Amino acid sequence: MNFFLKNVSVSDKDTKNPQLFRISLTELEEILPSQKFMRISKNSIINLNSIKSVKGEEINTDYPLKKKVTIGDKWKAKVDAFINRYKRKQ
C-alpha cells in the first residue's frame, strides 16, 4: 500500500514535496487502534464507525464511501465476534 503525504519533515530536512511511504496491510493493522479499525479481508481494513450494516458476507459502509465490502473467510469469525459483542452492549 502506498501513502502520499504532503508537508512532512523527513529527517532534519523540512520539505514541501510529497513523500511516498510504503506499508503492508499487516503493518498498518498493527499500527491502527484495534478498537476503531478491523481487518476484514486480505485487501481491506475498515473503520468500525463506518459500518452501517452487515448482511451475510458483506459490510455496508456509511460515510465516506457508502459501499459494500466483502468479508474474507479468514476474518469472518472475528467480524462475527465483534458484531455479537456490539449487540450485547445495546
pLDDT of residue 2: 56
What is the rounded distance in angstroms from the CA atom of residue 6 to the CA atom of residue 47? Answer: 23
pLDDT of residue 13: 54
pLDDT of residue 12: 45
pTM score: 0.71
Instruction: Supply 41's cell numbers.
Output: 479481508
What string of pLDDT tens digits covers the 90 residues of the chain? 555 555 555 554 555 555 667 788 898 899 899 999 999 999 899 989 888 889 989 999 886 677 899 999 999 999 999 888 877 776
Looking from the CA of 51 toward its CB, the CA atoms found within 13 Å total 20
pLDDT of residue 40: 94
